[in-house]
Amino acid sequence: MTDGLRRGWRPDWPVSLLGLLGGLRRGPGDPTFRLDGDQVWRGIRAPSGPATLRLEVRPADGEVLAQAWGPGAAWVLDGVPSLLGGDDDPGDFRADLHPLVAEAHRRRPQVRFGATHLLWEALLPAVIEQKVTGQEAFGGFRRLVHRYGERAPGPGRELHLWVQPDPATVRRIPSWEWLRLHVDPARSRTLVRAAGLADALGRLTAADADAKLRTVPGIGEWTSAEVRSRTFGDPDAVPFGDYHVAKDIGWAVTGAPYDDEQLREFLEPWRPQRNRAVVLIHGLAGGRPRRGPRMAPRTHLPVR
């Protein structure tokens, strides 16, 4: 295995790689994400090309060691501090506005939001996850990556690590292939449409991303929040419309599920860091008790 490029980074807070990067993992079978002991491996399509990134924390000195291979190696190494929350400033967050948030913040004062600065990487799986079960979404993403992505460079190949397809490839996927991937026409049309706009979308900033993303037919509030949270580390990007979030937060706060409007009202005092409050509460209280069978995946689409 060649050494690739290396860098070290020492943040001034304790870093949990899985805590920060777990949101980038699309299910346990995500082909672009691997856990190997204490190491996290990712297959990434950087602006300069595909890359394999390996991250490891040395707890004794708090240093993060990063190693990368491929044409995008230098770009992904430059972005390691941002990826691990280095651009996120929670200093003015008002944890004292609610006792549950205050307790959650006392236990986890270093909750950070990392930023990939790769909008397409976040948008593709977010659209696939629209209005379907996790099982169906993760399966569709996995099949798409295996069929139209590419092996990650360097040791990524030995680890069976993949890089998701680029917008040009997605734009060329025919309608019948989407059905074989178990992605219905509504979601595939949105992806093909977004792929045609990928260059313009990739130039969006955190300030204008929400408004511009939601002008694309098929991209609404939930998808925009999912994309902005991962791309820019936006601590205010609450995924309203999610099947679980409002219910879970309401249950934790009052013992009864919220709807989205109740959640908006509850979170308003924390603007512009509303999602930090959501993450803290969820981390402390977990999800509400589940009753009844899981929602079953749909069966009217062909499966490969």
CATH number at residue 187: 1.10.340.30
Predicted local confidence at residue 290, as pLDDT: 65
150 membership: H or E segment, kind and range: strand 150-151
Specify which residues 65 forms β-bridges with. Answer: 8, 56
Predicted local confidence at residue 295, as pLDDT: 46
- In the predicted model, residues of the chain with pLDDT beneath 50 are 292-296, 300, 302-304
Predicted local confidence at residue 66, as pLDDT: 98
Say how far apart CA 68 and CA 4 lie, in whole Å. 6
Residue with tokens 């390996």: 54
Predicted local confidence at residue 301, as pLDDT: 52
Length of the chain: 304
Please report whether residue 204 resides in a domain.
Answer: yes
Q: Check whether residue 127 and residue 208 sit in a common domain.
A: yes
Predicted local confidence at residue 37, as pLDDT: 87
Residue 219: give the domain boundaries. Answer: 119-226
Please report whether residue 191 resides in a domain.
Answer: yes
Please report whether residue 304 resides in a domain.
Answer: no
Indicate the number of domains in the chain. 2
Please report whether residue 172 resides in a domain.
Answer: yes
Q: Check whether residue 65 and residue 129 sit in a common domain.
A: no
Domain boundary among 226, 241, 276: 226
Predicted local confidence at residue 287, as pLDDT: 79
Q: Check whether residue 126 and residue 210 sit in a common domain.
A: yes
Q: Could you read off the pLDDT of 180-199 as tens digits, one per residue? A: 999 999 999 999 999 999 99
Specify which residues 44 forms β-bridges with. Answer: 51
Q: Check whether residue 60 and residue 131 sit in a common domain.
A: no
Please report whether residue 10 resides in a domain.
Answer: yes
Please report whether residue 238 resides in a domain.
Answer: no
Please report whether residue 210 resides in a domain.
Answer: yes
Indicate yes or no: pTM above 0.75: yes
Chain center to CA of 91: 23
Domain boundary among 207, 226, 245: 226
Chain center to CA of 301: 26
Angle, to 10 degrees, between the axis of helix 185-196 and the axis of helix 119-128? 170
Q: Could you read off the pLDDT of 46-99 as tens digits, one per residue? A: 999 999 999 999 988 889 999 999 999 999 999 999 999 999 999 899 999 999
What is the DSSP code (8-state) at residue 153? S
Buried b (16+ CB within 10 A) or exposed e, 111-123: bbbbbbbbbbbbb
Domain boundary among 226, 261, 279: 226
Answer whether 278's CB lies under 8 Å from 246's CB.
no
Contacts of 207 (CB under 8 A, 6+ apart): none
